[in-house]
Amino acid sequence: MYLNLLNLWPYLAGILFIYLYLKFQYRELAKEILWATLRTSIQLILLAFALEQIFKSQLFITSLAISLIMTINSSGQIVRRSKRKILNLFWISLISNIFAIWPLAALFSMDLSLGSWTEPQRILPLLGMLLGNTLSGVSIGISNFMENFGEKKNEVITMMALGATIEEASHRFFYRALKAGINPQINSMISMGIISIPGMMAGQLISNINAMDASILQIKMMLSICIGTLISIIIALKFVRKSLFLSTGELCS
Amino acid sequence: MLVVKDMKLLNEKIVNFEARPGELVFIKGKNGSGKSLFLKSLAKIIPSTFREVSLNGFVTSDFTPEVWRSKLLYLPSEVCFSELETVHEFLNVPFRLNCYKDFIPSFDPLRHLQNCHERMDILSSGQKQRVALLRALSLNAEVLLIDECFSQIDSTTREWFMDLFKKFQNEGKIILMVSHFEIQTGHFATREFFI
C-alpha cells in the first residue's frame, strides 16, 4: 500500500540535484531547501497516516475534536506570526476562527455531501483549506492595524479629543487593516483562471473530473475563503481594537 | 466651575485644581512634569485615578466619554490630518462624528481664513496650528485644553488669538493652556498653575 511512496523519487532526486548545485555557492539556501523538502514530505506523509486513522471514524465528535485541534494550531500560528505582543491574541484568533470558519466549513460540507456532512472525511479537508487560506489574511490584518495604531497614535488622540467614539477614532486604521488582509485574496480571485490554476482544481483535472465541475467547486472554495477571511479579520480586529482601550473609554497606557 | 480633586497622573503626580468660568490658566512646569498628562487625563484620553473631576456640578460618569471630551476639548500640539485633505475638509471633520450631528457652530472659522481650498499638507506648521486652533474654537466646548499649540505661531497671530480668547472667556468658557512662551495677557482673569 505504501509502495506509492516510491513514486516520489524523481521529485526528491530533482531537489537533491538542486541541493548539490547550490551547496558550494549558496550553502545556507541549499540547506534551507533541503530542510523544507524534508519537512513537507514527512509532515504530509504523517498527515496521511493520521487521516487514514481519523477517516475510519464516522462520528461527528471526531470531526469536532480534530477541528478544534486544527483551529487551536491555526490560532497559535497567528500569535507566532505577530511581531507585537497583543493581549489575548490567541483567544481572539480562536474565537474569530470558530465563528467565521466553522459555520462556513459546515455549510460547504452540507452542500457537497448532504447526508454525511459531519463525517471527518467530508468536513476536515474543507476546514483545513479554509483555515490555511484565512490565516495569512488575519495575520496581515492584525499586524497592519497594530503598526498603524502605534505609529499614528496622535491621529487617534486627535479624533478622540474631538469627541469621536472608539470606532470613529480608529475607523481609518480598521479599514486599512481590513483592506491589507483581504487584498491578497482579491488579487488571487482576479488572477484565477487567467494566470493561475489552483492546486485543488489542478488535482481534480488530473484525476479526470469534468472541467466544469472542477471549476464550480473551485468557485465555491474561492468565495468561501473570501467570506471566511473577511469575517475572521473583522471579528479579530474588533477584539484587538477593544483591547487597546479601557472599558471607561481611555486609551490603554 | 471645573474641579479636580486628588487626580493621580500616570507619572504618579497628584494634582488638585479648580478653575472658575471665564478663567484662562497657564499650566507651567518643567519638561516631563506632567502638563500634557494632566490635560489628556482631564479630557479622559488617557487613564488617571481621582477623587473628583467635575464640570459645573456634573461628574465624568454623568456623560459618555465622547460627550465629556466634546465639553472639555483637548487640542494637541501636533496637527493631524488625512492625506490630501483641504482646510475646508479638515474643519468639517468633527461634523462627521456622532456627537456633533445636530450641532450648529456659534463661531465660523472660515471668516478668519482665506486659504480654505488649499491642502493641509502644503500649509506651514504655523498655519496648520492656526487652522487647528480655529477648528477647536468653533466646537463650542466649555473647557479648552490647549497643549503647546502656539509653538509655531508668530507673535502677531498669537496676540490675535489671545484677543479672541477674551471673547470666549466673556462667554464663561474656561481655557487651560500649556505654553512655553511668555504671553502678555494684561490683567484679564488669568493666572498660572504649576505642576
CATH code for the domain of B7? 3.40.50.300
- The verdict on residue A251 lying in a domain is no
Of the candidates B45, B67, B99, which has its C-beta nearest A251's C-beta?
B45
Which chain B residue is nearest to residue A159, measuring alpha carbons?
Answer: B94
Determine which helix (DSSP H) or strand (DSSP E) holds B2, and give its type and residue range.
strand B2-8
Which residues does chain A have within 8 Å of residue B76's beta carbon, measured at their own beta carbons?
154, 157-158, 161
Rounded CA gap, B73 and B55, in Å? Answer: 13
Pick from A95, A55, A51, A36: nearest CA to A239: A95
Looking at the structure of chain A, the number of domains it has is: 2
- The answer to whether the beta carbons of residues B14 and B7 sit under 8 Å apart is yes
- The answer to whether the beta carbons of residues A172 and A180 sit under 8 Å apart is no
Based on the fold, state whether residues A160 and A52 are members of the same structural domain: no
Q: What pLDDT does residue B155 have?
A: 84
* Stretch B165-176: mean pLDDT: 90
Which chain A residue is nearest to residue B140, measuring alpha carbons?
Answer: A162
Give A186-193 contacts, CB < 8 A, sequence gap 24+: A186/A226, A188/A222, A189/A222, A189/A226, A192/A218, A192/A222
Grid coordinates representing B45 are 484620553
Angstrom CA distances, A128 to A69, A97, A169, B3, B118, stand at 11, 12, 36, 59, 52
- Tell me phi and psi for residue B42, to 5 degrees: -60, -40
Which residues does chain A have within 8 Å of residue B47's beta carbon, measured at their own beta carbons?
246, 248, 250-253
Rounded CA gap, B168 and B192, in Å? Answer: 18
Q: What pLDDT does residue A1 have?
A: 61
Rounded CA gap, B98 and A236, in Å? Answer: 25
Q: Cβ separation of B67 and A163 shorter than 8 Å?
A: yes
Which chain A residue is nearest to residue B43, measuring alpha carbons?
Answer: A161
- The answer to whether the beta carbons of residues B75 and A161 sit under 8 Å apart is yes
Which chain B residue is nearest to residue A249, measuring alpha carbons?
Answer: B65
Q: What pLDDT does residue A11 have?
A: 93
Based on the fold, state whether residues A157 and A182 are members of the same structural domain: yes
pLDDT score of B16 more than 70: yes
pLDDT score of B167 more than 60: yes
Based on the fold, state whether residues A65 and A47 are members of the same structural domain: no
Based on the fold, state whether residues A151 and A46 are members of the same structural domain: no
Q: What pLDDT does residue B184 have?
A: 57
Based on the fold, state whether residues A210 and A127 are members of the same structural domain: yes
Rounded CA gap, B37 and B31, in Å? Answer: 12
Q: What pLDDT does residue A194 have?
A: 84
Based on the fold, state whether residues A33 and A90 are members of the same structural domain: no
Q: pLDDT tier at B186 (50, 70, 90 boundaries)? A: low
Among A56, A76, A103, identify where a domain stops. Answer: A56
- The verdict on residue A252 lying in a domain is no
Q: What pLDDT does residue A78 have?
A: 86
- The verdict on residue A109 lying in a domain is yes
Does A248 touch chain B if contact means CB atoms closer than 8 Å?
yes
Grid coordinates representing B179 are 505654553
Looking at the structure of chain B, the number of domains it has is: 1
Cα B46 → chain centroid: 16
Provide CB contacts within 8 A for A60, sequence distance 6+: A118, A119
The series of mean pLDDT values per 10 residues for chain A, 253 residues long, is: 82 93 90 92 91 85 88 88 81 90 91 84 88 89 92 92 93 94 93 83 87 90 92 93 90 81
Give the number of residues written for chain B.
195
Q: Return the beta strands (E) in A117-207 as ranges.
A: none
Q: What pLDDT does residue B179 have?
A: 79
Angstrom CA distances, B11 to A154, A244, B17, B118, B177, stand at 20, 20, 17, 40, 20
Does A154 touch chain B if contact means CB atoms closer than 8 Å?
yes
pLDDT score of B185 more than 60: no
pLDDT score of B182 more than 70: no
Nearest Cα of chain B lies from the Cα of A183 at a distance, in angstroms, of 21
Task: Write out the residue range of the structural domain in which residue A6 sits.
Answer: 1-56
Based on the fold, state whether residues A72 and A178 are members of the same structural domain: yes
Which residues does chain A have within 8 Å of residue B74's beta carbon, measured at their own beta carbons?
157, 161
- The DSSP letter of residue B55 is E
Based on the fold, state whether residues A141 and A186 are members of the same structural domain: yes
With both helix axes pointing from N to C terminus, report the angle between A153-161 and A120-151 in degrees, rounded to the nearest 10. 80
What is the separation, in whole angstroms, between the first and last Cα of chain B?
20
- The verdict on residue A253 lying in a domain is no
DSSP B63-125: S-HHHHHHHEEEE-SS----TT-BHHHHHHGGGGSGGGTT---SS-GGGG-S-TTSBGGGS-H
Tens digit of pLDDT for each residue in B91-137?
989 988 988 888 887 778 877 777 788 899 999 999 999 999 999 99
Based on the fold, state whether residues A42 and A155 are members of the same structural domain: no
Task: Write out the residue range of the structural domain in which residue B24 sits.
Answer: 2-194
Based on the fold, state whether residues A141 and A32 are members of the same structural domain: no
- The 10 Å Cβ neighbour count of residue B71 is 20
Based on the fold, state whether residues A43 and A159 are members of the same structural domain: no
- The verdict on residue A46 lying in a domain is yes
Average pLDDT, chain B: 87
- The verdict on residue A248 lying in a domain is no
